[in-house]
Amino acid sequence: MKFEWKGVMPAVTTKFTNEDTLDIPLFLHNIDAQVDAGAHGIVLGGTLGEASTLEDDEKRILTRETVQRVNGKVPVMMNIAEQTTKGAIAAAQKAEEDGASGLMMLPPMRYKAGDRETVEYFKAVANNTSLPIMVYNNPVDYKIEVTLDMFEELLKCDNIEAVKESTRDISNVTRIKNTFGDRLKIMCGVDTLALESLLMGADGWIAGLVCAFPRETVAIYELQKAGRIQEAVAIYRWFLPLLELDINPKLVQNIKLAEVATELGSETVRAPRLPLVGKEREHVLAVIEEGLKTRPQLPNYKNL
């Protein structure tokens, strides 16, 4: 399936059993909820998916199970977060073999690569897969920024098509549009800047809290796309305290706790992560409880 870089694409959490194995039934329950809500794609194995803790065979299982479950309704993307160019190429090729229709790709992990090294890393993978690639540009968390000059070089690879824009600089959406037009599609990667980014011309939203609130997330996208801005803003204002759970070092625990509240997951994480406790847990639960108590009535956003 060809990727269309638009709409809401959930960066789904990975579900685990109490025995620290993949909980595929619960995982697929959440996938079903995303597709039913109108999500436009699925992103596997990202930060929220606890990528750094997943074994290679687990990533392959998640890819195959998701591809089979969505059955062509939406494209499936696998995240590439590797330490070596060789490992990144192998991961991309396995994702392609397993039926993924696109890749989200981080710069080299652990090693803080220079600009030239980062460009060559992305290009090497692009030249060894036919899948379209979205570069994940998140210098806040991963300490490497992919600049406009670097994208000039990267876009010589036809299958580097999009950026997950997570610089936290909202004006970067305009810079990218001014420089590359539609050649480089923009997917917002920060929940708390999503509507702002879409209104400034971003093509879509790689979302986090969508894992627990799929309908509300897709409704915001569809409403703003249809020009019903004030309705989108009203839902977004309700959503913001929940969205702020995503811009936190414990975003995985936070969002999994929200999934419990909406019956779309469990709070089981893989060590070294541990479930929230004490005042931290109380705070997150209070935010979730308030959100549920004031949850808005949604319009028929699927038929706008």
Give domain status of residue 1, yes or no.
no
Instruction: List the Cα angle 268/214/5 in 5-degree steps.
Output: 110
Give domain status of residue 245, yes or no.
yes
Task: Write out the two tokens for 205.
Answer: 């939203």
Report the alpha-carbon distance of residue 54 to residue 14 in Å, rounded: 9
Show the domain range for 79: 7-303
Give me the pLDDT at residue 2, please. 65
CA quadruple 264, 268, 274, 275: dihedral sign: positive
Q: Please give the model's pTM, rounded to 2 decimal places.
A: 0.96
| Selection from 177, 202, 175 nearest residue 191 by Cα | 202
Strand duo 133-137 + 102-105: pairing = parallel
Give domain status of residue 117, yes or no.
yes
Ramachandran region of residue 45, left (φ > 0), alpha (ψ -120 to 50) or beta? left
Q: What is the CATH number of the domain that holds 48?
A: 3.20.20.70
Q: How many CB atoms lie within 10 A of CB 83?
A: 11
Q: Which residue has the tokens 């960066």?
A: 11
Q: Which residue has the tokens 């824009």?
A: 165
Report the alpha-carbon distance of residue 233 to residue 220 in Å, rounded: 8
Instruction: List the Cα angle 47/233/292 in 5-degree steps.
Output: 65
pLDDT (tens digit, 0 to 9) for every residue of the chain, 304 residues total?
A: 567 999 999 999 999 999 999 999 999 999 999 999 999 999 999 999 999 999 999 999 999 999 999 999 999 999 999 999 999 999 999 999 999 999 999 999 888 889 999 999 999 999 999 999 999 999 888 889 999 999 999 999 999 999 999 999 999 999 999 999 999 999 999 999 999 999 999 999 999 999 999 999 999 999 999 999 999 999 999 999 999 999 999 999 999 999 999 999 999 999 999 999 999 999 999 999 999 999 999 999 998 8
Give domain status of residue 31, yes or no.
yes
Give me the pLDDT at residue 1, please. 55
Report the alpha-carbon distance of residue 168 to residue 171 in Å, rounded: 9
E runs forming strands in the chain: 7-10, 42-44, 76-80, 102-105, 133-137, 160-165, 185-188, 204-207
Count of domains observed in the chain: 1
Give domain status of residue 2, yes or no.
no
Give domain status of residue 154, yes or no.
yes
Query: For residues 195 and 219, is the Cβ–Cβ distance under 8 A?
Result: no
Give domain status of residue 279, yes or no.
yes
Report the alpha-carbon distance of residue 275 to residue 253 in Å, rounded: 6
Q: Which residue has the tokens 């109490």?
A: 18
Residues in the chain: 304
Report the alpha-carbon distance of residue 94 to residue 302 in Å, rounded: 34
Give domain status of residue 252, yes or no.
yes
